[in-house]
């Protein structure tokens, strides 16, 4: 919990409400444990009650800022959807060949700091796919966080103005997997803030902490045009671009080991 302490304080009320489910459990009387039915060295073994397991799951979602309506997540459409791996120009099944592959090979992705960019038309499942990856990795003990780009920028501004917010900002930007949704230029974003954002992504890459970016921009070039050459250069090195909807947008200037990841 040490690497989540600032978020635990920030989300204390929500976590407390979630804990009430366990406290009110009639099966274990709020203890969160049950006898397992076996005995070891004259001592009754115990096991976690389902209420405790559910509480621990929900708590991990709260601390990762997963939207509540996504707690029970798997849109059936994601299983059938196909996307384009821009590195190879190949169509891939989003569920099996992108999401589950990345989850299964997350250790390898972490070794290289390789993240993903989901981009393309709105309403194609980009957010669902990113949260599906995050929530599955949370269940495996990965420390992750989900945040809108505008909220990340707002927290960055607050950390300038209020030093008490810096530990929370630092904790969020140093998780094992950071998902940044709705990547786009907003009214309060300055050139300096874009530079700070690029620096955060670069530091995460160099620290082998993958990032997933989600954007409604239609092409990789459009993202580079809006955020500048530094982020465009970083995208060539630190992210595998996955296009949702539309035609191929093939770029050949990526590293070979990234091309072979999926």
105 with 228, same domain: the answer is yes
Does 36 fall in a domain? Answer: yes
73 in a domain, yes or no? no
Residues 45 and 138 placed together within one structural domain of the fold: no
43 and 99 fall within a common domain: no
**Both 132 and 220 in a single domain?**
yes
Residue 90 lies in a domain: yes
Q: 71 in a domain, yes or no?
A: no
pLDDT of amino acid 3 = 76
Query: Which of 34-38, 62-66, 119-123, 127-131 is least confident?
Result: 34-38
In tens, the pLDDT along 141-191 reads 999 999 999 999 999 999 999 989 899 999 999 999 999 999 998 767 889
Q: Given the DSSP bridges, would you call strands 33-40 and 43-48 parallel, antiparallel or unpaired?
A: antiparallel
Domain shared by 217 and 245, yes or no: yes
CATH assignment of the domain containing 109: 3.40.50.300
| DSSP H helices in 49-142 | 50-63, 76-80, 100-104, 106-112, 126-138
Whether residue 25 sits in one domain with residue 119: no
Q: Please, how many CA atoms are within 13 Å of residue 221, restricted to the half-sphere of its CB? A: 5
pLDDT at position 67 over 50: yes
pTM (predicted TM-score): 0.88
Residue 187 belongs to some domain of the structure: yes
Contacts of residue 45, defined as CB under 8 A and 6 or more positions apart, other chains included, come to: 35, 36, 37, 38, 39
Residue 97 lies in a domain: yes
Statement: residue 253 has pLDDT above 60:
no
Give residue 250's pLDDT: 39
Owning domain of residue 17: 1-63
Give the residue-averaged pLDDT of 28-38: 90
Mean pLDDT of 101-121: 97
Count of domains in the chain?
A: 2
Q: Do 87 and 51 fall into the same domain?
A: no
Q: Tell me the pLDDT band of 68, cut-offs 50, 70 and 90.
A: confident
């Amino acid at each position: 919990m040490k690497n989540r302490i600032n978020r635990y304080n920030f989300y204390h009320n929500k976590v407390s409400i979630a804990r009430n489910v366990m406290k009110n459990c009639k099966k274990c009387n709020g203890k969160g444990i049950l006898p397992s039915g076996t005995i070891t060295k004259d001592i009754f073994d115990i096991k976690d009650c389902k209420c405790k397991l559910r509480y621990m799951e929900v708590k991990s979602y709260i601390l990762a800022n997963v939207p509540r309506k996504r707690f029970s997540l798997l849109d059936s459409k994601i299983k059938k959807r196909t996307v384009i791996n821009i590195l190879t120009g190949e169509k891939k099944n989003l569920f099996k060949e992108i999401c589950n592959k990345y989850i299964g090979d997350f250790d390898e992705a972490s070794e290289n700091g390789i993240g993903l960019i989901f981009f393309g038309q709105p309403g194609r499942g980009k957010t669902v796919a990113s949260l599906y990856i995050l929530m599955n990795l949370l269940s495996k003990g990965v420390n992750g966080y989900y945040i809108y780009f505008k909220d990340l920028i707002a927290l960055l501004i607050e950390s300038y103005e209020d030093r008490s917010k810096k530990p929370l900002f630092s904790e969020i930007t140093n998780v094992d997997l950071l998902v940044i949704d709705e990547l786009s230029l907003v009214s309060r974003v300055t050139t300096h803030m874009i530079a700070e954002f690029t620096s955060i992504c670069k530091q995460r890459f160099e620290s082998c902490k993958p990032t997933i970016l989600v954007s409604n921009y239609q092409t990789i070039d459009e993202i580079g045009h809006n955020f500048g050459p530094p982020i465009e250069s970083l995208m060539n090195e630190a992210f595998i671009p996955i296009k949702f909807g539309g035609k191929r947008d093939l770029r050949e200037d990526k590293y070979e080991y990234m091309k072979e990841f999926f």
